[in-house]
Amino acid sequence: MAVARTIVGMSGGVDSSVAALRLRDAGEPIAGLFMSNWADDGSGECRAEDDRRDAVAVCGRLGIPIHFRDFSGEYWAGVFEHFVAEYAVGRTPNPDVLCNREIKFKHFLDAARELGAERIATGHYARVAHAHDRWRLLRAVDRSKDQTYFLHQLGQPQLASTLVPLGELPKADVRQIAAAAGLPTAAKKDSTGICFIGERDFRDFLGRYLPAREGEILTPAGERVGRHPGVFFYTLGQREGLQIGGVRGRPAAPWYVVGKDVASNVLYVEQGTDNPWLMSTRLLTGAAHWIAGAPPAAVFECTAQTRYRQNDEPCRVQVREDGRLAVAFARPQRAVTPGQSLVLYAGDECLGGAVIDATDAPLDSLPDAA
Indicate which CATH number applies to the domain containing 222: 2.30.30.280
**Domain of 303: which CATH number?**
2.40.30.10
The residues annotated as belonging to the active site are 99, 195
Q: Are residues 41 and 144 in the same domain?
A: yes
Q: Are residues 50 and 135 in the same domain?
A: yes
Q: Are residues 226 and 92 in the same domain?
A: no
Ranges 14-23, 89-98, 109-118: which has the least confidence: 89-98
| Burial group, residue 98, by CB count within 10 angstroms (0-12, 13-18, 19+) | buried
What pLDDT shows up at residue 339? 96
CA distance 299 to 288: 14
- Band (pLDDT 50/70/90 cuts) for residue 302 is very high
Model pLDDT for residues 39-77, shown as the tens digit of each residue = 765 555 557 888 999 999 999 999 999 999 999 999 999
- Band (pLDDT 50/70/90 cuts) for residue 294 is very high
Q: Are residues 50 and 109 in the same domain?
A: yes
Q: Are residues 104 and 217 in the same domain?
A: no
- Band (pLDDT 50/70/90 cuts) for residue 243 is confident
Q: Are residues 150 and 36 in the same domain?
A: yes
Q: What average pLDDT does the chain have?
A: 92
**How many beta carbons lie within 10 A of that of residue 115, not counting itself?**
15
Q: Residue 11: what are its φ and ψ, rounded to 5°?
A: -95, -10
- Parallel, antiparallel or unpaired: strands 66-70 and 30-36: parallel
Show the domain range for 12. 6-180
pTM of the model: 0.94
Q: Are residues 147 and 288 in the same domain?
A: no
Model pLDDT for residues 117-144, shown as the tens digit of each residue = 999 999 999 999 999 999 999 999 999 9
Mapped onto helix, strand or coil, the DSSP state of residue 285 is: strand
Asked, for residue 226, whether it belongs to a domain, the answer is: yes
Q: Nearest CA to 68 among 23, 100, 37?
A: 37
